[in-house]
Amino acid sequence: MNPEENQIILVDKPAGISSFGVVAKIRGYLRAKYGHKIKVGHTGTLDPFATGLLIILTGKMTKKSNEFLKKDKIYDATLRLGYTSTTGDPEGEITERESEEVLEADIASTLQSFTGTVSQTPPRFSAIKIDGERAYKLARKGADFEMPTRKVTIYSIEILSYHYPELTIRCHVSSGTYIRTLAEDIGKSLGTGAYLTALRRLSIADYHVGDAHPLSDFTS
């Protein structure tokens, strides 16, 4: 195998495509480039509506995927206050709630209460396996099941901008943290409800989106 086939590829994932879709495009690109099939995998999904850093591993590097899954991450997230979503993001059924505009100072105080080690219940529409089946598949079937609670660490949260009902935050979190759940929990704490309208992953440990390739580099 050509050493160049064993790579860590940083991709800036656009909205509207799944992480598996990105993998498929890169796999096709590499197959055309080298003339044979090359193993390709990612190191942690981004939802289709989300953008930002996706680490792709090829060839023998795919054996290191678990090492990347455990790394800390930084995201920019935009929340819409006063509304809820059945999936915690724009793809769900959106419901408007009766709520009043919240002062930025109150939001800042609430965000501070989420820093540190916290308990989090991942969303039902997630890729976590429940008795061997993906939770989102069970949720789509209308199955009755409980999501396991986990401990995660929120190292920091800061407000980037706030114009009610849109709130944009930057959060540095541990592996296993669901930003959709964080958004919903913030909304509950504020008494307004909230869901994610946008999510962008800026970094995974020392890997940064500024060093990533646009997906178009692998579709030409």
Q: Report the alpha-carbon distance of residue 178 to residue 38 in Å, rounded.
A: 31
Q: Give the C-alpha distances (Å, rounded to integers) separating 187 from 5, 44, 137, 162, 193.
A: 45, 26, 26, 14, 4
47, 76, 89, 185: which is the annotated catalytic residue? Answer: 47
- Residue 65, classified by CB atoms within 10 Å of its CB into exposed (0-12), middle (13-18) or buried (19+), is middle
Tell me which residue has tokens 């989090």.
Answer: 120
- Supply 8's token pair: 């860590």
47 is catalytic: yes
- Supply 162's token pair: 């706030």
Would you say 169 and 77 are in contact if contact means Cβ atoms under 8 Å apart? yes
**107-121 residues labelled b (16+ CB within 10 A) or e (exposed):** beebbeeeeeebebe
Q: Report the alpha-carbon distance of residue 84 to residue 90 in Å, rounded.
A: 10
Residues recognised as catalytic: 47
